[in-house]
């Protein structure tokens, strides 16, 4: 029977390191055996937010658990389910803000969430970062959801935005065998902005050892190697932001 295997890592950007700040990205991964479905969530706390890292951690935790609960019921998530998850995540962030005498925007975070059983894929996206899949039939990589830019350069949208978040929900009914979810720290490595498409050589090279590994579930050794790559001088020379990448393969 086909099974999902994945590697995931998140590393602090050099800009935060220089200032003695904590990493503000967070991620969650899980597998729901009842539906042979993998859930990937990568969140990026806003650098301008006082508690962006806490916001990203709350969002990743709440959204992954909500998805797990719906899938465990044997249901594929509806749009109403997704909006319930978003509302709950916003409520949890608002509660955390009240306890600290802060406001939700102090916990601002983006969201990239992917749910797939290989035949159907659901993407929930707020802000920048991106979700990429590989077509199982053709081997072609493509971005299912592209980074969203705000009104001004170098700005984006957040889960905590006043008046409700700019949530994009994408559904794919095409067979896929590899997934990638990542925050904006590696956009310039992973995406071809001139052509507005996924940079296939990057994803092919990065996912190849994951697909070849004889491990189901979270591959810890490869995740460690992925983390080493994300914090390498070659990557840090191109971005000083936090970096999170999740690579999942259906074998």
Task: Name the percent of the chain lying above pLDDT 70.
Answer: 97
The predicted-structure confidence for 110-133, as pLDDT tens digits, reads as follows 999 999 999 999 999 999 999 999
Residue with tokens 């507005």: 196
pLDDT, position 152:
57
Q: Is the pLDDT of residue 79 over 60?
A: yes
The CA R_g of the chain, rounded to the nearest whole Å, is 17
Summarize the confidence of residues 80-103 as an average pLDDT.
Answer: 98
pLDDT, position 248:
98
pLDDT, position 213:
92
CATH of domain 4-250: 3.60.40.10
The ranges assigned to domains in the chain are 4-250
Under 8 Å between Cβ of 2 and 215: no
The predicted-structure confidence for 141-191, as pLDDT tens digits, reads as follows 999 999 998 665 567 999 999 988 999 999 999 999 999 999 999 999 999
Task: Give 13's contacts (C-beta < 8 A, 6+ positions apart).
Answer: 23, 185, 236, 239, 240, 241, 242, 243
pLDDT, position 151:
61
pLDDT, position 160:
96
């Amino acid at each position: 029977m086909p099974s999902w295997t994945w590697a995931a890592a998140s590393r602090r950007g050099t800009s935060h390191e220089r200032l003695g700040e904590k990493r503000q990205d967070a991620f969650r991964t899980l597998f729901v055996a009842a539906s042979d479905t993998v859930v990937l969530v990568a969140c990026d706390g806003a650098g301008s937010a006082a508690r962006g890292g806490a916001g990203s951690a709350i969002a990743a935790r709440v959204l992954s658990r909500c998805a797990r609960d719906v899938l465990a019921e044997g249901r594929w998530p509806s749009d109403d389910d997704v909006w319930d998850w978003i509302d709950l995540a916003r409520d949890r962030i608002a509660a955390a803000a009240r306890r600290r005498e802060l406001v939700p925007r102090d916990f601002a975070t983006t969201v990239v969430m992917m749910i797939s059983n290989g035949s159907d894929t659901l993407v929930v996206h707020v802000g920048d970062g991106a979700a990429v899949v590989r077509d199982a039939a053709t081997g072609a990589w493509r971005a299912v959801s592209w980074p969203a830019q705000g009104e001004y350069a170098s700005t984006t949208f957040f889960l905590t935005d006043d008046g409700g978040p700019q949530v994009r929900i994408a559904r794919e009914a095409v067979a896929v065998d590899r997934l990638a979810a990542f925050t904006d720290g590696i956009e310039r490595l992973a995406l071809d902005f001139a052509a507005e498409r996924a940079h296939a050589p990057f994803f092919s090279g990065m996912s190849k050892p994951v697909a070849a590994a004889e491990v189901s579930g979270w591959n810890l050794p490869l995740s460690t190697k992925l983390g080493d790559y994300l914090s390498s001088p070659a990557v840090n020379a191109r971005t000083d932001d936090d970096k999170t990448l999740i690579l999942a393969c259906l074998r």
